[in-house]
Amino acid sequence: MTRTVPVQKNDYIEAVFEDLTHDGAGVAKVDGYPVFVPGGLPGERAKIKIIKVNKGYAAGKLIEILERSHFRIEISRENAHKYGGCQIQHISYEGQLKYKENMVKQVLTRIGKLDDVKVHPILGMEDPWHYRNKAQVPVGEKDGKLIAGFFKPRSHEIVDTDESLIQIREVNEAIQAVKNIADKLGIPAYHEESHKGVLRHIMARYGKQTGELMVVLITKTPDIPHKNQLVEQIIERLPHVKSIVHNVNSKRTNVIMGDKTTVLWGNEVIYDYIGNVRFAISARSFYQVNPDQTKVLYEKALEYAELSGEENVIDAYCGIGTISLFLAQKAKQVFGVEIVPQAIEDARRNAELNGIENAEFAVGEAEVVIPNWYKEGNTADVLVVDPPRKGCDEALLQTIIEMKPKKVVYVSCNPATLARDLRILEDGGYKTIEVQPVDMFPQTTHVECVSQLILKEGN
């Protein structure tokens, strides 16, 4: 018998929100039928307009809140544009942490069937604002002036933003300074529709521990009008700038950076520290945007690895070697794998920079390289994975199960794929001991976790 959908498009209904989705929308139910509404919070009663109806769920718009959650905070209309990309900025930080911790517990139970795993209280930030050390903002024109900021949701309309509340203040200052200087010099913005103009994006990167700043100018054209004046005025306005870089992207594309990068002034890299490990950061380097919480996350990964100095460790998806170099301080030998050649170059450079000689890095897919190592007789005592959002490839998980490292440390940016992969490893002979959520990205729905697994006796 076909179930009748209890709401129709353009209906106005009253409902109580019971939960939040993985992207922060409120979940209300009408006769068991879910309605997803951005902005709604659990426990709130609200008036909702139904804007889309599917067989399995409806999407709604929040019209009026009739009973408020004590976790709700008000955001003035004047400040709303400062929260670009912040899906849950309307929730107090206490409420955000509770939501993320509950989300981790729910997916471990629902997807991983891991009811008995200890999930520790989430590790949040003392100050959950102004934490991002990198911004890359699109540039446009409005009323004859340059604007730079965020795209409106589901559009390519730029909202001019003088400050982002999640960017480090020095990054905000750099973006504004470059925009204003370029505007006064008459450097035209790039126009997506006509594929004409010059300045596409402004990027700023900041080393929080070193105070070093990099400015990257991303243009459609190989030449920048008034380039020398632009560089001189950036140096004058931003005394802590150490590097000014020019990247050319002449293609019709949504990809931000092009292939050609040159240094206009200063150094090719800036430096920063995570803990006592020093990192060189180029315009194209992947580097964690919240190094304070990255230190928290990686210290927990190091703790879960329980290294004595005698272990061989494999770090799958090693990136620029961030975790590898932490582990190398306590391990006998670390082998890192990463598919991006530039990242491996950075990893090797960072190992040299820190005088670390017991870390080796290979370019390739973890799910190809590590099985090949295993076939050649190379095994690991501890295996660390930090995969992209899609989780670990099945071939890698099967290799882990066959290789039988005593411990697996799983660092994850997606609780759902973490739960799925933990279930596969559990079925293959591992026991998940504990999971530690870490809030790397306050004001957003993202949550990182680090999990410790040990090989069960008899496997």
pLDDT at res. 392: 95
What is the spatial distance between Cα 411 and Cα 449, in angstroms, rounded to a whole number?
A: 6
Within 8 A by CB and 6+ apart from 184, the residues are none
> Bigger pLDDT: 90 or 439?
439
* DSSP-based three-state secondary structure for 106: helix
pLDDT at res. 153: 72
Tell me whether residue 413 is one of the annotated catalytic residues. yes
What is the separation of C-alpha 453 from the centre of its chain, rounded to a whole number of angstroms? 24
List domains and CATH numbers for the chain: 12-67 (2.40.50.140), 98-126+290-455 (3.40.50.150), 134-274 (2.40.50.1070)
Average pLDDT over residues 337-365: 95
Cα torsion 340, 342, 345, 350: sign: negative
What values do phi and psi take at 292, rounded to 5?
-60, -50
H/E stretch holding 37: strand 33-38
291-318 pLDDT per residue, tens: 999 999 999 999 999 999 999 999 999 9
169-184 and 227-237 helices cross at what angle (nearest 10)? 140
Catalytic residue among 86, 318, 392, 413: 413
Q: Which residues in 90-198 belong to E strands, given as ranges?
A: 118-119, 134-142, 145-151, 158-160
Which DSSP string do the residues of 42-104 spell out, in sequence order? TT-EEEEEEEEE-SS-EEEEEEEEEE--TTB----TTTGGGGTT-TTTTB-HHHHHHHHHHHH
Within 8 A by CB and 6+ apart from 325, the residues are 277, 347, 350, 351, 354, 356, 359
pLDDT at res. 283: 94
In the predicted structure, residue 81 carries a pLDDT above the cut 80: no
Task: Say if strands 158-160 and 382-385 run parallel, antiparallel, or are unpaired.
Answer: unpaired
pLDDT at res. 78: 53
| Residue 115: Cβ within 10 Å count | 8
pLDDT over 90, % of the chain = 84
pLDDT at res. 22: 81
pLDDT at res. 57: 94
User: In this predicted structure, which of 3-12, 91-100, 265-274, 340-349 has the lowest mean pLDDT?
Assistant: 3-12
Mean pLDDT of the chain: 93
Q: Measured between alpha carbons, how far is residue 232 from residues 33, 136, 178, 228, 229 in Å?
A: 61, 21, 11, 6, 5
In the predicted structure, residue 1 carries a pLDDT above the cut 50: no
What is the separation of C-alpha 334 from the centre of its chain, rounded to a whole number of angstroms? 25
Highest mean pLDDT among 6-20, 84-98, 234-248, 369-383: 234-248
- Report DSSP state, residue 259: S
Structure tokens at 295: 């230190």
SS3 string, 426-457, reads HHCCEEEEEEEEECCCCCCCCCEEEEEEEECC
Nearest to 27 by CA among 14, 13, 42: 42
| Entry field: residues in the chain | 459
In the predicted structure, residue 128 carries a pLDDT above the cut 50: yes
Residue with tokens 């095994």: 379
**Whole-model pTM over 0.85:** yes
What values do phi and psi take at 310, rounded to 5?
-110, 0
H/E stretch holding 292: helix 291-305
Integer-rounded Cα Rg, in Å, for the chain is 24
pLDDT at res. 152: 79
Q: Are 327 and 315 in contact (CB under 8 A)?
A: yes
